[in-house]
Amino acid sequence: MSTTATTTSEEVSSNEWEVIHMSEQEEDLIHRMYKLVGDKWNLIAGRIPGRKAEEIERYWIMRHTHAFSVTTNQSKAKTS
């Protein structure tokens, strides 16, 4: 008897992500923690009340990935 599990995966393109707004204090803490522990998003999120690891990671990608910023800037240029 064999059983197969079916899972549904929702992949969301980074172009569809909502902009994540962080306070200056949150941004500062994220930058400092990243320098200390790297991309351990759960650890960083644990230091920021009300934030999830996924939010912190998306914020970091949106702010620090060249490919994302180029795509975002191109999208803004098309809508202006």
> pLDDT band at residue 64, thresholds of 50, 70 and 90?
confident
Nearest to 57 by CA among 69, 71, 39, 74: 39
SS3 sequence of 20-60: CCCCHHHHHHHHHHHHHHCCCHHHHHCCCCCCCHHHHHHHH
Write out pLDDT tens, residues 16-42.
667 788 999 999 999 999 999 999 999
Amino acid letter, 74: Q
Cα–Cα distance between 74 and 80 in angstroms, integer? 10
Contact 50, 22 (CB under 8 A): no
Write out pLDDT tens, residues 53-63.
999 999 999 88
Instruction: Pick the more confident residue, 43 or 1.
Output: 43
